[in-house]
Amino acid sequence: MTIDIDTLLTMGAAYKKVNAGEAIFHEGGICSFYYQLESGSVKWVNIGEEGNEFIQNMIEPGDCFGEIPLFDDLPYAASAIAEMDSVVIRLHRSEFHQLIMERPDIHFNFTKLMAERLRFKFMLLKELSQHDPEQSISKLLFISFSKRNK
For residue 58, the tally of other CB atoms under 10 A from its CB is 15
Rounded CA-CA distance 35/89 in Å is 6
Contact by Cβ (8 Å): 48, 78: no
Same domain assignment for residues 118 and 94: no
Residue 16's alpha-carbon distances to 10, 23, 91, 105, 131, in angstroms, are 16, 12, 11, 26, 44
Does residue 140 have a pLDDT over 80?
no
Q: Are 26 and 94 part of one and the same domain?
A: yes
CATH number of the domain that residue 15 is part of: 2.60.120.10
Residues 75 and 137 in one domain: no
pLDDT tens across 76-94, in order?
999 999 999 999 999 999 9
Number of structural domains, the chain? 2
What is the per-residue pLDDT for 24? Answer: 97
| Enclosing domain of residue 21 | 1-101
User: In terms of domains, do 112 and 97 share one?
Assistant: no
pLDDT of residue 51: 84
pLDDT at 150 over 60: no
Please say whether the beta carbons of 82 and 40 come within 8 A: yes
